[in-house]
Structure 1
């Protein structure tokens, strides 16, 4: 983050940042929120539209049932209370990408309230971030500018996105640093992906975040004036934008001026925020109940039916993986980073003789190679079936770790599954005691000087004999058996 005025640590330490996040999430429904238009990213501009999402006279909205179900799933996953009765409202504002002149949203009676999400407190514990509300609304269209909005020569309007179903998730102002905000967003995205309600693709605008940032002197009774940083398109940039905004506001206060309540845009190329417009208050939107939609009623029976589709959440899945497969907390966190990944691991673990070996191979051998090759698990030359086969060969002592690494290298080099490479190369670990003892005897006989050193008390020389036998066996001797037998033979010599 570029420095603003080189604020000293002493000045920075006087202030407490206060951050609240508003996250807009597009729902992965088949059709739009209030009409039958396809809910699909892209397409020729202004082709996924109809009289309803364009707000033409006489066109009436009809609520998408699947959007409600997705909102209930997301609310429950975020520990919110789903209200039995909620009300849609008109949020009135005039902007080129909103052809109706208003947005159908929810105001004082949202579908869900009073949730929470835990983040690290930096001391080995957890800190709870409150979620004020989750409400349903529709998306606006998209303004496309030549250059930046304040200096564009032309602006084009694509209304394909109008009417796309959204949920807005509003946090309490409980976040106290950019790192906390980053972790909150990362966990929020993980949970939403698990529920399947959204693809959370920030590049396509499926997840967008506004950050409300203010600073206050530590110990002060009231929060400072907030500025809203809008529509930042990556979590890393959100963290950078918050850090910049914190320093900018501290500099303003230290200079004796007042922070303006306004909306600001973040320029990632310059690493700074710019004033966009004065920040509206709720009364500026002249909310009133949507006259063309009845109250939304989610009774206990419908809610119970919806929640049958709620999958196991990430935290619960991680805890179960640790308990069931005896893997570490860190390994479980990686394996449960996505629902698909966790399910594929469990499928492989159940098919293998040692689930722990499967986890070790995925984390220790497979992921590193995939990252280096720029591949995903779905495009890996080594399938999970190959992982199971490799784990079983290790467990049975038919392969050494060194041999397995070599076979994996060949698999990635030739884009062949592990089983194909193993059948062709046919490396076999020697685990026959008699065969290994014969090779040890041969090596001892050929190295009398080292034998005398061992007899003289230099026990570390045993490693020399192990290496020589391993060379003689072309790396195929069972390492565990070899170490034990070498010591026994040397002690008896």
Structure 2
């Protein structure tokens, strides 16, 4: 594996009216576990069903109904922990987090405060070529999701949909290692990428399957270093939490606004109240939701209906042995095996489906040429048509065939683009289309030389200009390519034109 060395970016400095300030950010990312059934019941986790149609008795808090752990939820949490290079706790336990809200029918949420299933890990968040932030993971714990309160169907009433109640969530808690809005969004993006590779969360933020609570505070330059030395959080300033952020763009915007709000208060001689806030994307501002609760406010205690969860190391090892190749490793391999740039490798490994498509195209072919065609031609056309890679009209075998024809010199790059368009709209085998439509590149030097002679003979004035200014030789190359329908070998045309003009 290629060993990549990264340089950590400098923290973002926000210029205030009086002083410079630095941002300190920690995130609690809630990722819906990719399973068909809920954490403690067999009810479906399918999205978009009729309200209250995916609710088991235990989800609805019916008396006497006992929770039963879904083993696949445990396995998915373990996979995620392994993917984040985290410690897996062979013994964990569930606790009750007590609060009252209409969409929480049990009157408590089953979570893991004291003994989470996953311990410390880390994520490498890339911030450009050779620049990355190493973000430490404090823990990952499993918990139930709540239901959904609906307030916009009737101005005089609120409705409750319990379909999400009991759906398994992984809460991924970071250390306060993130130092800027862009890093925060990139961190969430990297978590999403890893979990999608693992198949543990689909990362659909629009449906609420991935959302983040963002803790934001500001401090003077140098304070973070003191925190790192002492572990004293008071150096970091009072934090405010931005609740339920479900967009990378909104995460950045919310952090920017909240940081400036806090700075304005501090520079005006005020103090920051620790609280939970909401971000309003329409107004581009945060607003107070409630004072920030502490653990004791929820009266946590071990769930009496669930025994401590004990798993075997052999089971964890078996899961680890069957993990897919993860994005960082795949990116390093693509750079080493196919000679790709870091940028191209990043684009191709952004999604597992994209990486698999490219690898099939490049198998036994020129890696760089394959990457260029996948990124520039295929991805560009799919984006234009709002299509996903799984819906591509051009299969990896077909695009690989185009790449092979270009690499062998049978067709030029320009002809390749015409061929790509034919296959994209009509389908077919690249080699057969080239033969049946007479698209093969002209490599007969005699024929090319004749075409060059014809163009030179017809344009004596342009010949004199080209001899005085060799850059104008390109005009002759263009004319020859035009006269041959773009089929002449471009390299051969350039060589013969230069020879004939005495350049």
Q: Does TM, normalized by the shorter one, top 0.5?
A: yes
Match of 2:284 in 1: 271
Match of 2:255 in 1: 242
Match of 1:215 in 2: 218
Asked if 1:372 is matched to 2:384, the reply is: yes
Cα 1:453–1:27 change in 2 (3 A) is closer
Asked if 1:401 is matched to 2:400, the reply is: no
Please tell me whether the aligned partners of residues 382 and 417 of structure 1 are also in contact (alpha carbons under 8 angstroms). Answer: no
Please tell me whether the aligned partners of residues 129 and 343 of structure 2 are also in contact (alpha carbons under 8 angstroms). Answer: no
Aligned partners of 1:328 and 1:80: how far apart in 2? Answer: 29
Please tell me whether the aligned partners of residues 383 and 418 of structure 1 are also in contact (alpha carbons under 8 angstroms). Answer: no
Please tell me whether the aligned partners of residues 23 and 179 of structure 2 are also in contact (alpha carbons under 8 angstroms). Answer: yes
**CA shift at 1:309, angstroms?**
2.9
Please tell me whether the aligned partners of residues 32 and 163 of structure 1 are also in contact (alpha carbons under 8 angstroms). Answer: yes
Cα 1:469–1:171 change in 2 (3 A) is same
Please tell me whether the aligned partners of residues 127 and 186 of structure 2 are also in contact (alpha carbons under 8 angstroms). Answer: no
Question: Residue 310 of structure 1: which of 323, 327, 332 is its match?
Answer: 323
SS in 2 for 1:204: coil
Aligned partners of 2:29 and 2:244: how far apart in 1? Answer: 9
**CA shift at 1:94, angstroms?**
1.0
Give per-residue Cα distances to partners, 1:5-39, cap 9 Å, x unaligned.
xxx93437522222110011111112111111122
Aligned partners of 1:388 and 1:330: how far apart in 2? Answer: 21
Match of 2:345 in 1: 332
Q: TM-score, normalised by structure 1?
A: 0.91
Give per-residue Cα distances to partners, 1:52-107, cap 9 Å, x unaligned.
11222211111111000000000111111111111111111111111111111101
Aligned partners of 2:348 and 2:265: how far apart in 1? Answer: 45
Match of 1:135 in 2: 141
Aligned partners of 2:202 and 2:476: how far apart in 1? Answer: 57
Tell me how many residue pairs correspond in the alignment.
479
Aligned partners of 1:277 and 1:84: how far apart in 2? Answer: 36
Match of 2:164 in 1: 161
Match of 2:61 in 1: 55
Question: Residue 181 of structure 1: which of 179, 184, 196 is its match?
Answer: 184
Aligned partners of 2:261 and 2:178: how far apart in 1? Answer: 18
Please tell me whether the aligned partners of residues 412 and 489 of structure 2 are also in contact (alpha carbons under 8 angstroms). Answer: yes
Quick check: 165-174 or 393-402, which moved more? 393-402
Please tell me whether the aligned partners of residues 143 and 156 of structure 1 are also in contact (alpha carbons under 8 angstroms). Answer: yes
Aligned partners of 1:381 and 1:464: how far apart in 2? Answer: 36
SS in 2 for 1:319: helix
Question: Residue 382 of structure 1: which of 364, 387, 394 is its match?
Answer: 394
**CA shift at 1:450, angstroms?**
4.9
Aligned partners of 2:68 and 2:197: how far apart in 1? Answer: 28
Quick check: 355-364 or 229-238, which moved more? 355-364
Asked if 1:89 is matched to 2:101, the reply is: no
Gapped regions of structure 1 (runs ≥ 5): 1-7
Match of 1:4 in 2: none
Asked if 1:439 is matched to 2:456, the reply is: no
Match of 2:231 in 1: none
Residues 91-110 of structure 1: pairs in structure 2 closer than 5 A: 91-110=97-116
**CA shift at 1:481, angstroms?**
1.2
Cα 1:343–1:124 change in 2 (3 A) is closer
Gapped regions of structure 2 (runs ≥ 5): 1-13, 224-233
Match of 2:476 in 1: 465
Aligned partners of 2:382 and 2:59: how far apart in 1? Answer: 43
Q: TM-score, normalised by structure 2?
A: 0.89
Aligned partners of 1:123 and 1:332: how far apart in 2? Answer: 11
**CA shift at 1:122, angstroms?**
7.2
Please tell me whether the aligned partners of residues 84 and 123 of structure 2 are also in contact (alpha carbons under 8 angstroms). Answer: yes
**CA shift at 1:183, angstroms?**
1.0
**CA shift at 1:478, angstroms?**
0.5
Cα 1:10–1:266 change in 2 (3 A) is closer
Please tell me whether the aligned partners of residues 94 and 102 of structure 1 are also in contact (alpha carbons under 8 angstroms). Answer: yes
**CA shift at 1:491, angstroms?**
3.9
Please tell me whether the aligned partners of residues 130 and 172 of structure 1 are also in contact (alpha carbons under 8 angstroms). Answer: yes
Cα 1:401–1:113 change in 2 (3 A) is same
**CA shift at 1:42, angstroms?**
2.4
Match of 1:119 in 2: 125
**CA shift at 1:126, angstroms?**
2.6
Quick check: 419-428 or 98-107, which moved more? 419-428
Please tell me whether the aligned partners of residues 24 and 167 of structure 1 are also in contact (alpha carbons under 8 angstroms). Answer: yes
Please tell me whether the aligned partners of residues 434 and 440 of structure 2 are also in contact (alpha carbons under 8 angstroms). Answer: no
Match of 1:484 in 2: 495
SS in 1 for 2:479: helix
Cα 1:441–1:14 change in 2 (3 A) is closer
**CA shift at 1:411, angstroms?**
4.9
Match of 1:203 in 2: 206
Please tell me whether the aligned partners of residues 132 and 172 of structure 1 are also in contact (alpha carbons under 8 angstroms). Answer: yes
Match of 1:298 in 2: 311
Give the root-mean-square deviation of aligned CA atoms.
2.4
Please tell me whether the aligned partners of residues 87 and 110 of structure 1 are also in contact (alpha carbons under 8 angstroms). Answer: yes
Match of 2:15 in 1: 9
Cα 1:421–1:153 change in 2 (3 A) is farther
Aligned partners of 1:328 and 1:280: how far apart in 2? Answer: 47
Give per-residue Cα distances to partners, 1:342-374, cap 9 Å, x unaligned.
011111211x53233221111121211222222
